[in-house]
Amino acid sequence: MTVELEWMNVDNLPLPSDVIEILKNRGIIKLNPPQTEAVKKGLLEGKRLLLTSPTGSGKTLIAELGIISFLFKHGGKALYVTPLRALTNEKYLTFKDWEKLGFKVAMTSGDYDTDDAWLKNYDIIVTTYEKLDSLWRHRPSWLNEAQYFVLDELHYINDPERGPVVESVAIRAKRRNLLALSATISNYTVIAKWLNAEPVATNWRPVPLIEGVMYPDKKGYTILFKDNTLKKVYGDDPVIAYTLDSLSRNGQVLVFRNSRKTAELTARKIASYMNFIPLDEKALSDIVNEIDQIEEGGSEEKESLKELISKGVAYHHAGLSKQLRDIIEEGFRQRKIKVIVATPTLAAGVNLPARTVIVGDIYRFNRRIAGFQEEISVMEYKQMSGRAGRPGFDEMGEAIIVVRDKKNIDKIFKKYILSSTEPLESKLGNERAFYTFLLGILSAEGNLSEKELANFAYESLLPKSLVDIYFDRAIQWLSEHSFIREEEGKLILTDFGKRVADLYINPFTADIIRKGLENHRSSCDIAYLHLLAFTPDGPLVSVSKNEEEELMGLIDDLDCDLLIEEPYEEDEYSLYLNALKIALIMKDWIEEVDEDTILGKYNIGSGDLRNFVETMDWLTYSAYQLSRELKLEEHADKLRILNARVKDGIREELLELVQISGIGRKRARLLYNNGIRGLGDIVMNVDKVKSLLGPKLGEKIAQEAARLLNRFY
């Protein structure tokens, strides 16, 4: 289904003049074809719609118009839901525009054990799928006022990790007013029917896209484009050759590689050729200085990036700290940085268009399959190629797939350029996802009969035959493991089951924690950290062959017994060692080992460390809460302290100091080593605190310490 290229004048929209004024202040005089078609299909009347169109086609504005028109007519609250925190922040900043009309805008993500009661005062709430799923489990009264839901990036249903949560949220959201947004999907009619929505599908893009496949040919490389035209470039490396060609035409380039190491290596190679490209050296110097000012990030990665950025190039992957990624993204948006070499996570995370997108690898590594390699999905390619073309700068965007062998051209063309994306299918078809889904429904909806609970499962995208199989297994397992019980024909969460649902942890995670704690007396920090890292919710880290041997040797030398027995299965043993490496990283973290030392010792990035800390903070908190629920006080005391230490990366003696906002592990240690060891010491030695931290910060810290002391006494 393709819409006609009709552009609607915003003056003709049945909206208050204040709304029209905000649009015009953004430079929006007309709605583009997808936006026009959405309005014609009833967007402003609150009709349920599924809109599928390419990246950059203006789906966010469609959501804004849908939300604002609904709130003007019906009041209440509207929720805009995204799969990624980076997108949540981006959309929040966009929606802030509407505060000019009196609508209060808020953003929430993370912190799953809360009902966010403060949100009762807000009209437009931007959040993530996981956070909304968690909020429903806590049943805050304000959430009953939310009658309009925008589900962004709905194609994440196909993501093995996030898909089950996206689908779970959609099942509940489709019972209210709904607008779903997605990149182009092949079975949009099926999904629209599932959502009870009218489909609006278009392939329109603000900047036309040309796609091609690049292959080695004699002394250089030939690009065969979709329209059968050819182009030749020369050089020793195809990615570098086409990058330099695009830069010579005043383009910006996004290169996607399948690993961090390859991305970094490619960025360095490209940088060595940038002497021939005109650059704004003053602007790049400003970015380098900005990197010097931030606290986040390891010294090595900062120095590496500074050297590259001075040449107009950067790499980007999840191993970098958020502050570093933000600086790189902003430098690229402002056209100061000319080339970013990234792993595919960037394609979905932020709005970052470029003249040229080069997909350097159609394979990615997957430890779960033989040979470790699998082809990327068509959807992933579309996400990457969708970044090609900068509105207002480029007449055309170009997406190039690099192949190493001319024989593969036809196959690659058919799969990625000439084919539709994969159909959206349920990812609830495994025990871990399905059992979590049922637990979440019972937590959100309250007591249900088996039939009522099964009806929620039948509303999923899973075939009915699979639901029947998984449902019976789930009820039996959840009952046998004391998550639910039956009473007067209703399925009821036990106190333990409700606490697990509220903590937003997987029931298999909770079961492992319970068994580990109940079967052992209180233990050492490393044993608790290893137990939690071994659960399905634990973080994953790369473990090299050399590290495997070291870790296996280390197990016998530990000062205390681990809470998980050594498994016999090879896959399980790999996870066991993964968990041990995570535990060792976190042990160094809470012993205040310098961050640079941790990054170098374990070969991880600052972004990895931050991710491990956040996940283990959540898991140590959850284990503490479960130990209280299970009346395991000996474990609870240790886990409470461990959680506080993991959060800030400190030894126990600094716990009182880090209560103060603005004092982290480094400042707390500085104060402690100089005799300032608690809140009272700060209040009694204000001049000394000022001399250590500076007059302005010292005064602020002293005031906060006094406030906390008054609260305690």
Binding residues: 35
Residue 676: DSSP 8-state: -
Closest CA to 393 of 359, 356, 346, 347: 356
Contact predicate 44/13, CB 8 Å: yes
Which H helix or E strand runs over 328?
helix 322-333
Binding-site residues for ATP sit at 35
Indicate the DSSP class of residue 58: S
Structure tokens at 40: 């014609």
Q: For 251, what's the count of Cα atoms within 13 Å in the CB-facing half-sphere?
A: 26
Burial of 160 (0-12, 13-18, 19+ CB in 10 A): exposed
Strand pairing class (124-128; 77-82): parallel
- Separation between Cα atoms, residue 362 and residue 529, nearest integer Å: 37
- Rounded-to-integer distance, Cα 187 and Cα 450, Å: 31
CA angle 618-621-623, nearest 5°? 110
Is residue 149 within 8 Å of 178, Cβ to Cβ? yes
- By CB neighbour count within 10 A (0-12 exposed, 13-18 middle, 19+ buried), where does 287 fall? buried
Query: Is 132 within 8 Å of 151 (Cβ atoms)?
Result: no
Region of 106 (left: φ > 0; alpha: ψ -120 to 50; beta: rest) is: beta
Instruction: State the DSSP code for 622.
Output: H
DSSP-assigned beta bridge partners for residue 364: 374
CA distance linking residue 587 with residue 264, whole number of Å: 29
List 150's β-bridge partners, or say none: 80, 179
Torsion of the alpha carbons at 146, 62, 422 and 129, rounded to the nearest 10: -30
**CA distances in angstroms from 309 to 304, 336, 536, listed in the order given:** 9, 9, 38
CA distance 465 to 450: 16
Q: Which two tokens stand for residue 577?
A: 């060692």
**Alpha-carbon Rg of the chain, whole angstroms?**
27
* DSSP structural state of residue 320: S
